[in-house]
Every structure is written in C-alpha cells, then in structure tokens.
Amino acid sequence: MSDAITTTRAPRVLAVTAAGDPIPRTFARLVAALRHGGAEVVPLPVPKQPASGAGNEATPTIAELKRVARDLVSALRGAEKAPAENWLVSQLRAVEGRVDAVVAVDPAVAQAVFPVVLDVFPDAVRVAVDGDYHVDPEWEGTPFDDLVLPNPLAARGLGPVREGRARLREGGPLVGGGDLAPKKLDPERPGVIVSFARLEPGDVDPLLFQISLANPSRFDLLFLPSGRPGVDELVRARAGGYGLRGKRPKEGADVEPWIRGASALVGFPSPSEAAAAIAAGVPQLYFGQKARLSPGDAFLVEHGLAALAENPITLSVQLEGLLPGGAQREAALQALAELSATGSEGAARAVLDAIAAGRPAPPSAEAVAAAGGGDDELEDIGLDAASAGVATELPPSLRAAYLKEIILQQKRTEKSLNDARAGIDTWQRRQRLARTANDPTLADKAAARVTGLRRVAERLAGQLDEVRVLRERFAGRGPLTPEDRAAATRFMSADTAAALDRGQAPESAFEKLELDDTLAALKRKIDAG
C-alpha cells in the first residue's frame, strides 16, 4: 500500500475472529491488506464460550495453562486464591507485547471482545470493519471507537456515532482485489449469475420462469449456492422444466471470481455477493418487493447501483436491458463507475488512520445531551421502522386504527385464498373432464392452471398466517416491537389517515369488523361441531 501512514514503528494489530469456524474471506482479506500496509497483525480466534467447565474436553488454551500455573504457584506459597478472571480477559492477556488496535469484522465477536479490551490494552483503539454496503444492526450494541465501512452515511444513526463516542471512516468493501482473475463459462458469451441467497422457496419458480422469458439462449447461466439445501434442491429440480441449463459452484467454493466475470447478477444476493458485484462493476437486478429491502439494499437501488423488479412480469425485460446491448446497461455501468470503492486496501488504510489518531476523546456532557435531545425532538422519516428504532408506544387511537387495517387485510387475504382454492377445485374438475373426454391437450392446460393456483394459494396462506400473528400482537395489550409497527405500516390507508386527522376514532367501523369476525368464528365452530 503505497500511501500507508508512516509511523516510527509498525502498528501492531490484534485481529479477532470466531474460533471453530472457517476463517471468513473478509477477515483474511483485511489481515492481508493490513500486512501489506506495513502493520504487524496477530490473528486471534476467540472461542464462542470458555473452553473450561465440567464435561468440556476441549484442549486448554495458552491463557488457561498460564492461569492454572499461577494458581498452582500461589497455592504452594499459601497465598489466597485471587478472584476468577474473565475468560476473555485471559485470552487477551495471552497476547504478549503491545497492541495498538483490536480489529473485528464480525459484530458478534466484537460484542464479546470489545467491552473487555481496555482492561488489558488501555490505549488500544477498537476498530469495527463492516465488509459490505449493508450495515449490520448488531453494531448498534457494540462499544467500538471507529467504524470502517464503504458507505459511512448509512451508519450515522448508530448510537455510538450519534452520541459522539465513535468515529466513522470510509473504506472497503472487503472484496478481492484486481489480482483476482474473473471466471466465465464462455469468454465469448454474456454470463448471468443467479443468486437465491435471500429468496424464499416460493420465489424460486417465479424467478426461473422470468429468466426463461429473457431469451436465455443468448447468455450462460450460473446459479450460486444459497447455503440452504431445500432451496438449492428446488432450483436443481425446477430449472430444467423452464428450459434453463446452467452450472453451480460447489458449496464452499469462492464465487467472487464468477461474479467478477459476469455481465449481470439477478435474484436477491447476499450482502457479500452484492459487494463483489459492485466492486467489479457488474449490474445487479433485485427480485422482490421493496418492503423486503434492507437499508443497505435501498441505498444501492436509490443510487442506481442495483435495479429492482418489484413486479415479476417486468423482470425478464429489465434483465435484457442490463445485458450487453441493453437499453439500461450504460446507465448502470456509469453509476457503478462513479461509486468510490476503495476495496480491502482502503479498509486497511482506514484502520491505520484510526491507529494514528489514537483513542477518541470521550464526548462532552453537552454533546451527549444534544444527542439525546435531538432524539426527543426529531423523528426519523423515510426509514424502515425496525431499523430506525422508532418508538413503539402507540396512542390507543392509532393502535386501533392499525388493528382495523390489519383486520381488513386479513379479510381480503382470506377472500383471495378462498377464490384461489375455488379455482383449484374448478380446474381440477375441468382436468378430470378433459381426461374423460380423452383430450390430453386440454388436460395439460388445466393441470398447469391447477399448479399455478396452488402456488398462489400457498403464498396467500403464508401471508394469512403473518397477518393473523400481527393482529394478535395489535389486539393484545403487550408492547409492540419495531418490527410489528414496520409490518403494520404497509396496511395504513388514506381513508384511515384522514379519519385520524379529523379526530374520528375508528370505533364504529372497528366494532363492526370485530362483530363480523366474532360471528364468523362462531359459525366456524358450529360447522366444525
């Protein structure tokens, strides 16, 4: 790293990661970049729980052996036994020599280690590094001094940053550098990478069907493993039925070279897959409803770094537009080219900057009060309620209004589900009639309609279960979570909002809905009896 910070001595960095798991590629890339930048790096795998206790046959760590030796010497000298030391502190004390910074890319590891770092290394800077454009919400509860991420604006709402207890630095994402050669199935043909990383099993058929409409004879297909056996097997079983032929890397293989060699990435990629595509300048097309996007996804879509196909019908057209020669490809490539992505070396540079700056000064009482006062006076608008941490104590009238909308949505979903089931019965009857008339063509058409309606019914049944759970939450007296309110906001109608503005409580309509629902429940019990 040619522009690394020059110091009188090489910075010494303790890089912590989870023990027992394969070393994450993001962690390995950061360690390599730090060493390339002139830092001395000591990797430390941290057990998820202490390797001591009854029945635990794990091999003792160096720290435990040292502690046992100290206790034995003290016992022989007749000294009183010192209080048991925190096992994580013991792990850190086993690292000999000075430590200028403790770095973590995994928030779960950081949450365990960072609170005790200053007990062992009082001057060390605690640096959290987020490897992609999706700020992990677990960083909220982590006491870091610096947070390094490719999009610092996305983390301004985090408590440590908002209250002035931590600094933000731009760097990343943690992806392979230019020396990572791209791979392609055929160098002469465009390649489309399909990711099911965050898609549900019910999304597999619609996505495959839309890809089949995008003239797949023009491009090669590579399906990325989702890490979920059921989804991966469903893709394997369904793809051929839509006339799709492709390849899939084996589980555990590095998929980034394939992403770097692709013409487009489609589906719902994982944050690391999306970061690899952005760093390589590969256009992306998300498949799904806008409500499913995380704040990081929304950032990418808003800045033209990824397109969104909310309506499945438009996906095939959008995909063709992003491929070479497509109408949207140049705009997508321009947006990707304008993004400042510094990669792993940029993340390492930011870590070295944090070390050079030293530990941040504690915020003044005025700054903390201002941060708290700002929270009391200002409400976040335009953010997902769950991610923004909005207040969940709702006035009774607003809670009743939401409950009314949820009940209406439940009734609409029930009606749609009944219609779908009635359609299944109708087309099954037509299928039987066609077979009786020895007309295989009509029978096949009827069978296709039955299959499609069954998929619709399954999706509606899942939605109905979600709405019923949400209704129970709002109908009860227990506290609501940010996720509850975020889910309910999808159902708020303009009519209900207008009624609230006029001061009209929704009692009359609400009571009628409750009465109708009670009568319906009573009828179901009578029918069942």
**pLDDT 10s digits, 456-479:** 889 889 888 888 888 888 887 777
- Any idea what DSSP says for residue 197? T
Cα separation, 429 vs 424, whole angstroms: 8
Across 377-382, average pLDDT = 54
The residue among 414, 385, 402, 413 whose CA lies nearest residue 491 is: 402
pLDDT for residue 146 is more than 80: yes
Give the helix/strand (H/E) hosting 480. Answer: none
Sign of CA dihedral 294, 300, 302, 306: negative
Q: Where are the domains of the chain?
A: 12-170, 191-340, 396-528
Domains 12-170 and 191-340 share a fold: yes
Residue 495 pLDDT class (50, 70, 90 cuts): low
Alpha carbons 267 and 200: distance in angstroms, whole number: 11
DSSP 75: H
Its pTM surpasses 0.95: no
Write the pLDDT tens digit of every residue in 207-219: 999 999 999 999 9
Is the pLDDT assigned to residue 336 strictly greater than 80?
yes
| Coil vs helix vs strand at 465 | helix
CATH 3.40.50 fits 12-170, yes or no: yes
Give SS3 for 308.
strand
**Strand duo 12-18 + 40-46: pairing:** parallel
Angle at alpha carbon of residue 435, lines to 432 and 436, rounded to 5° = 85
191-340: CATH topology: Rossmann fold (3.40.50)
The Cα–Cα gap between 284 and 305 comes to: 7
- For 364, other C-beta atoms within 10 Å of its C-beta total 10
Local confidence band at 526 (pLDDT 50, 70, 90 cut-offs): low
Q: How far is it, in rounded angstroms, from Cα 207 to Cα 196?
A: 9
What amino acid is encoded at 109 in this protein?
Answer: V
**Angstrom distance (rounded) from CA 246 to CA 251:** 16
* pLDDT single digits (tens) 284-333: 999 988 888 888 888 899 888 999 998 878 899 999 999 999 999 999 99
**Largest Cα–Cα distance of the chain, in whole Å?**
99
Show Cβ contacts of residue 40 under 8 Å, excluding neighbours closer than 6 positions: 10, 11, 12, 13
